[in-house]
Structure 1
Amino acid sequence: AWSGVVLAALGALGAHVLRYRTSRTGPWSLLLLGFIVYAAATIPWYLVPASGHPLPFPSLVDAGFFLSYAVFAAALVSLARRHRDHDPRASLEVVIVAIGAGTPLWEFVLKPEVVDQSWLVTATLYGYPLVLLVLFGMTIRLVLAVDRPDGAGLLLIGWIVGELVADVYYAVSVANGTFRLDSPFLLLYLASYTCLGAAALHPGSQLLAEVRPARVLRPRTRLLLLGSAVVSPLVVLAVAILRGAPHPAYLVLVAAVMVVLLLARVSSLMVDLAEQRRLRLELQHLAETLRHRAFHDALTGLANRALFTEHIESALRQRPTAAERGPAVVMLEIDGFKEINDTLGHDVGDLVLIAVAERLDRVSRSGDTVARLGGDEFALLLPAVELVQALGVAERIVAGFREPLELGGNPVVVSTSIGIVVADGTQGRSQLLKQADVAMFDAKTSQRGSYRVFSPEQHTAVLKRHALSLELKGAASRGELRLDYQPVMELATHAMVGVEALVRWSHPEHGLLPPLQFIPLAEANGCIREIGDWVLEEACRQSGRWDDAHPTHPPLDIAVNLSPRQLDADDVIERIAAIVQRTGVEPGRVVLELTESALAEDTEGMIAKMVRLKSLGVQVALDDFGTGFSSLSVLRRLPLDIIKIDRTFVAGIAREPEEWAVTTAIIALATSLGKRTLAEGIELGEQLAHLRALQCELGQGYLFDRPLPSQGIDERLASASRPAVRS
């Protein structure tokens, strides 16, 4: 039975090592090696006495047992090192506990049986339980390092406990001469071997060898174990004194050693506590930093959307202090921010965002929350205000952006579109933000640099415009845009000398939409650049197709409107030049029309761009002249080719003396400056007659023709006849 159990344990350990051929089998290989040495030592230990010959004590057999224990200790140390954050200094605790437990074991169990023995016999007898106590402490510490001790760990504890109890019996029986091989106590050895083999075969055996974080014992548990171990020699000494026995000198020595070991461990723990305190402070600081980052915008330092919505919810929970007082949300976007990013770069865009955040922080009131919600969208939360106070904040924001932002010595002019909503007690957080966004979108698509207050009446219209704005993006690439062309006539000869390209949006649901319904949306959402480039390139290519199809007809000028938002882009000149070159159209036949409103925003910058446009060889026309505020001094500096007279003056020229006088003055002014004039909206023959009498050179309107698709212009050119004037 003895040999069968030993061989079974060896087989289980070997099977574990062969089954798991990884780096994690190293500790179990050491356990196998230790048990091989242990099994080899048991052969003479068991067979020699069985043959009737006495086995000397101590002998090489005992040396073999102690060698196996050393290998077992190495295996347990190897397992302990698999745990991250393993502290080798914790081994002192194992030694302290082992000596503390071994002292009463020696004094009360072994020492009375050891009488007149040599020091070698005494050391060997005491060594067995002491070494196994150390192994027991190591096993306990290893198993406790696992979150939930499983069967494999408990079986290892059973193995060491069986060996410990059996070795104590062995030492006592050897000392008093009563040792017998047939003693029932020796069954504990068989039980311990069985536990070791079962631990090797247990599915959880691999978990003990896995690399994992070490679980730190609770300070109270650690203090209890160490305190009990240190007090143990003192208790033994006190018992000896009470018995009247002579004071064993070794107990004083053991107590002194235990105190030294305890002080050494406590000092290392103090260092650990100081390090833990430092790490705790660092973690607290890190947690505060992470919380700040979680609720604040990294670029501007303002509150982010998460913190802003949290503040909205808090403000909504507070009861209004007076009638018509509640939290208000002021939401705003930077007009033309996409163009700033596209033309000046994202670094400059970031500087703009930082400068805007600083300016908003200055105009806000104490107690207001200023936040960057994302991109170029900002918001202010005004707690417990009336509408007039919210309007005052919006006025200050608009006024604050009238001065350019100074970015590294370079002034950048920006404006903001603002939406305002004051809570009336019926909205939740999401609805309040949505209503502020609706009002902001209304401002952005109506007039940049303005503010709007949310009202339920505007909601449906704004939502429709917002949906159109989203659908407008990519309309050119999807082939939904088309051009119509209105003939431009030479008034003296009734000859068609050019066309004006007018864009339409063929919407899949709403049908053909005129430019007034979507160009403001394109300017607001930034896709005016894509649409403007498509219109210019398509018009130039169509001009080339007409030239090829009608070589005998004089080439037509092609007029295209430029939006003020297109002109804001720094690379607009380069893009126009690339389109003209790519399409092969003669530059002198391209007429680029600008409005007076574009001049009003940045006169000097616009004049500089017009000069660069003229350097390309194209013609430049001033559209809707007379409706803006162009002064004579500015007009004289403009590098214009054509001045277009607005239709409001043309409509009353035949019956309103004031309109006739204004039209006369415009034509005279243009003639004196060497500019050609073009009258818009000619619908009646008498209007044409007056314009011809005033020597206006060019005209367009329903009197000649409505805007036509390209095929309609083809038909006009193919007829080779001048369009007839309708009476």
Structure 2
Amino acid sequence: MSFTGFLKRQKPAWYGAVLLIAVALFTLLAIVFISNDEWLKVIILNLSSAIFSTLAATSLFFAARYTGRFSRRFAYPWLILAFAQLIFALGDIFWYLLEVSLLQDPFPSISDVFYLSYYPIFLIGIILLPSIRFSRIDWLKTFLDMTIVMLSAFMVLWSFLLGPLISTGTENTILTQFLTVAYPSGDLVLFWAILVILYRQSGTQPQTPLRLLIYATIIMIITDCIFAYQTLSDTYISGRLIDLGWILASIFTCSAGIVQSLKAHQTSVQIDQNPVEEWPRSSPISRLTYFSYAWVIAAYLLLILNQNYPLPVNFTILVWGVGLLIFMVILRQLLTLNENRLLNKKLQAALEKDRQKTEELSRINGSLQLEIDERRRAEGQLAYDALHDSLTGLPNRVLFIDRLRHAIDYTQRYEQYQFSVLFLDIDHFKVINDSLGHIVGDQLLIAFAKRLRTCLRLSDTVARMGGDEFVILLEDTKNEEDVISAAERIEDHMKLAFILDGRQVYVSASIGIVLFADDYEHPEDIIRDADIAMYRAKTLGKARYEVFNSTLRDVAIARLELENDLRFALDKNEFRLNYQPIISLDSNEILGFEALIRWYHEKRGLISPMDFIPIAEETGLILKIGEWVLREGCCQAREWQNTYKRNPPLTISINISGSQLVQQGFVELVEKILAETGLEGNSLSLEITERICLNSSEEMKSVFKRLHDVGVQFHIDDFGIGYSSLSYLQNFPIDTLKIDKTFVSKIGANSGNSEIVRSIIALAHDLGMSAIAEGVETETQLSQLRTFGCNYGQGYLLSYPIDKQGVDSILQTSFEQAN
């Protein structure tokens, strides 16, 4: 963590400034009070004054720089203040060089040019600081207040300092007299700057730096006055305690620059362009209402004091000054009274006008009120229906997109604001809807929406996009943990049972998350990416959440492109069949082949079935592709049977999806292909998964029976990795169990796994079925399978999947050896 970052976490931010002031003062006080070397005191204090003045100028320059990152307009005043402090620092440097290095009297000298230039430039910087906008009457009242205070301050300063300086300094040179009077006059300029801060400070500027500047300015005024008094009495000696005053003022100024740098991000660039007509109770004007009257009291005390202790100012002039103050106070009160009177008059007129309008409207609206209320209710209902889902009462897609667009606009105006979007889909909703009916499905959607609302804050928006899809707008998300926590809370709540129509129903949700969507410009893009992340969550197993990243979008685009190409792959003749031999483990003869589809894309090259088969099943393209595989495989098998006659004839195994089995006319399609190719039914084996058997209906059982009646064989593919129920083995005409390679690969390495394989083979034999081991890759596996009595095997040890030409070569060699 950087030092700046550390300070930003301090509350309040001026703790660091207080520490800096305390350490610096303690060090300097120790030097002043402990050291007995007067010349050392002069050197250290003069050098410290130059150093701290330079540091103060540097901190103000940094304040201007950091403020400029948020508002150039607000940076200019701090730049001018930095310039003023730099001029003051130059005066300290020249003072040090003259007094310490050249051993000359630094008063008067060129240092005074820099010191006196500091006052007006400092005032300009203060005036340019952001201020509240006044109405004309408030400007006039503020001007009178500041004038009253300044006039009173001038009278006090003249009576106790300026007057004595002028009257007793006639023996000095004109330059010395001028400088002696100029510094207290400069203090009046600084006092004016304090009044500007007090009366014009705005909420757009952090207040702590301004307070530190006020403290620095007050210390500067007090020190200048003490300096002028000591000069008047000829008691000023360089290197004394008074020099700490200027150093302390520089330290406070430096602290103001540091705090402004840390709080620059709080500087507001939004300024109301309309004049302020009514001030809140906390405004500077209301807080300083009695400040000017306190200075009038000070002027009165001068009159009283002048009676007992004659002051340099002429009593008549003093009376005229107090009289002028009284006049301005009266004028200010008259302005206030006149303003109040005008406001009361306007208020009374407005009240009277409103009363008349109210009476008139009451008479006119009496007969129309019922009709208006009815129309409003109808319009409100129409507006509500247009923006809300009729089933769940949640906002619909139109309203959600509108709120999402507002969130995007808000992030463009306020950089610190962030939001996130969640896209939800109810897992297995179609199963519930189809099995329990649409009424129960609607009840589930209503209950799901109600429970979803309880998982979120009131500021968040949850909407139904349609079907079983919901979207959530999480407002003002501070960090990723809050968003993930909301997703996990939704997951946990949705896993609890729903009581629907007297029964318990369990569901889960797949959630896609777009974190901190403030970089987007269009709401539709956010929903799209959240949908992509949700689809990824479903792909990875459902009942989980997935956070979107650009890679997911690339994958989705690639998948869409692959889907588009897949639609034309058949027309472009890009599919090929490879064939993996099924070997008899007793005789080492080839029983037949399993047809494995391969896609040779014209640009992408070979595409794995793992990449395009799931897409084909989701899009329904598996029906056409499956028919092509079935036809091509049967045709090729019949061709080999005709060429390489053997007994029993070669068989062909083809993988069939559940979508193919349930399509209308599948049995007729198989019978037609068998008739067209001349392949006998007992030479065709259809490989299916356990899931198909467990999810089958009476219609599917009929499909199995009809196909089996024409001789078609059925193999259970990947047996053992699906479901634990084995009842379907007796309910379906299964001929062969194919042992998944995950079991075969661990034969020999794991005795328990070997027993599983032995048990599956024994189960198949007990049920009158054959067993085929998939993924045979080592001699150890082959030997064990033969020992277990496994009928057939497939795997890289026996043969890789090969194309038609490779099969012809193998069969030709086998045929020649047999003959």
TM-score for both structures, normalised by structure 2: 0.45
